[in-house]
Amino acid sequence: MRHDGPVEFEPYRGELTAYCYRMLGSFHDAEDLVQETLLRAWKARDRYDPARASVRTWLYRIATNACLTALEGRGRRPLPSGLGAPSDDPGASLAPALDVPWLEPFPDARFDPEVRTDLRLAWVAAVQYLPARQRAVLVLREVLGFSAAEVAEQLGTTVAAVNSALQRVRAALAGAGDADAVTEPDDPEVRAVVQRYMHAFEAADVPALVRLLADDAVLEMPPVPLWYRGSGDYGRFMERVFALRGTGWAMHALTANGQPALAAYAPQSGGGHRLHTLQVLTVTAGRVARNVVFADPRVFDAFGLPRETPADEFRRER
């Protein structure tokens, strides 16, 4: 039986983008694959059979096949902390490793809240260690709630194979990202911590920043491959940043991956500020436990961040 009426695909773009992002670790690649998915669906719309699957399930099958094809022969997208030991030298070279396909953040503001669950950076980074088909089983079953039978149909396998893969994935990811300990960005305590962090950063007040950090706080800065662990090394690196860039920063609060995030604007000698980094924070137990700092212009574009801003623009917002 074929479907004779109009089939609407566009309402699924947001959730498909989040799905492909979880699979690929790249927001830009996810957007491209969703566009490819919707194009394939449009071309095959006359063959869609509602008696076999809902439009949503059918689209996810197309998207899954597109993701699996895209992942063939690709390495995972890591964060610096996934590549080696932390540095203990706050003066280490900041040369970027442009040959590494780094994990990218997800711009929350461009999508409805319901598609932004289970997007924590640490969780997505952990998923990157899984083989591609296991990633699909995990996300389709655990995040999106498809049945084992539906996932088996989408992957061209058996229910037993899906259930077995899911057991292996759960064991491999036990505790990944410490999801239970991470609080939401709109939690009042989290907002208060982020506000204090913003004010300390704007004032280049390193002691105040360090007081807001967990003892084992992590700072990492893709595409720079080095990273730091511990509030002491974090603080010493920030002293270097402020010595190089000066004081009087401007910070803009937003969210990424369902986490609090900050756009950091460095002061310019002629006045005003220039976009320096996007910082994605993990706040647990009233402290900043991790800060993943992105300086890729493509990341800035995905978040729609202006490159320059007048001196007092963000201060007027608060």
The helix (H) or strand (E) run that includes residue 233 is helix 231-245
Q: pLDDT tier at 104 (50, 70, 90 boundaries)?
A: very high
Cα Rg of the chain, angstroms: 21
pLDDT digits (tens, 9 = 90+) for 4-39: 555 689 999 999 999 999 999 999 999 999 999 999
- pLDDT score of 158: 95
Residue 254 parent element (H or E): strand 250-256
Domains 10-75+131-172 and 181-317 equal at CATH topology level:
no
For 155, 198, 260, 261, the CA distances from 195, given in Å and listed in that order, are: 45, 5, 10, 11
Average pLDDT for the chain: 90
Residue range 250-259, pLDDT digits in tens: 999 999 999 9
Residue 165, pLDDT above cutoff 50: yes
Q: Identify the burial level of 116 via C-beta atoms within 10 angstroms of its C-beta, where 0-12 means exposed, 13-18 middle and 19 or more buried.
A: buried
- Three-class secondary structure of residue 48 per DSSP: coil
- The residues near 267 (Cβ < 8 Å, ≥ 6 apart) are 245, 246, 247, 248, 249, 250, 273
- pLDDT tens digits, one per residue of 181-193: 556 777 899 999 9
**What residue spans define the domains of the chain?**
10-75+131-172, 181-317
Give the pLDDT score at 182. Answer: 58
> Letter for the amino acid at 180?
D
Average pLDDT over residues 71-77: 88
CATH architecture of 181-317: Roll (3.10)
* Superfamily of the domain at 10-75+131-172: PhyR, sigma-like (SL) domain (1.20.140.160)
Name the pTM for this structure: 0.91
